[in-house]
Amino acid sequence: MITVVPSDRFPYRLIAAATDGSPNSLDAVRHAAGLAALMGARLAVVYVVDAYLSFRMGVHRDMAVETLRADGARALEEATAIARAEGVEDAEAAMISGHPKEAILAWTKKMGADLLVVGSHGYSGLATLLLGSVAAHLVRHAPCPVLVVRPSGES
């Protein structure tokens, strides 16, 4: 895990987490929920329907958006169940549309989050090998500290 925590932002009042439904992003939700429970903070979880991905689907756009929304609903349901298991009963869940990098940044700022927790797939090229492109972008541009949860088994 990598975290940068300015001292004026601790303890956290609102911890935000982003999920795409993948095991690693749900592990990030688990970390966020554990921190929220430990600190008595609120937890908010977001899923981004990638508007640009669905736009590229052409004539099948409506079907793609419907599928992405259904995936998002399942991911958020699983995320809130994880939060409850970690002791956070009232996690907020939001589904938004846009490009994940920019949408997560805007949502985090709008929510006034004190910490953003994200998973890293590390699937992108050499420049983002350590974090993954979305996580790396969020670390550089987020309005708050970012905790990046690496896949299990990575150091």
Could you read off the pLDDT of 115-141 as tens digits, one per residue?
999 998 755 444 344 456 888 899 999
**Per-residue confidence (pLDDT) for residue 67, from 0 to 100:** 85
**Which superfamily, per CATH, for 2-149?**
HUPs (3.40.50.620)
Query: pLDDT for 141-151, tens place per residue?
Result: 999 999 999 87
Contact criterion met (CB below 8 Å) for 45 and 92? yes
Bigger pLDDT: 6 or 104?
104
| SS3 label, residue 6 | coil
Percent of the chain clearing pLDDT 70 (strictly above):
79
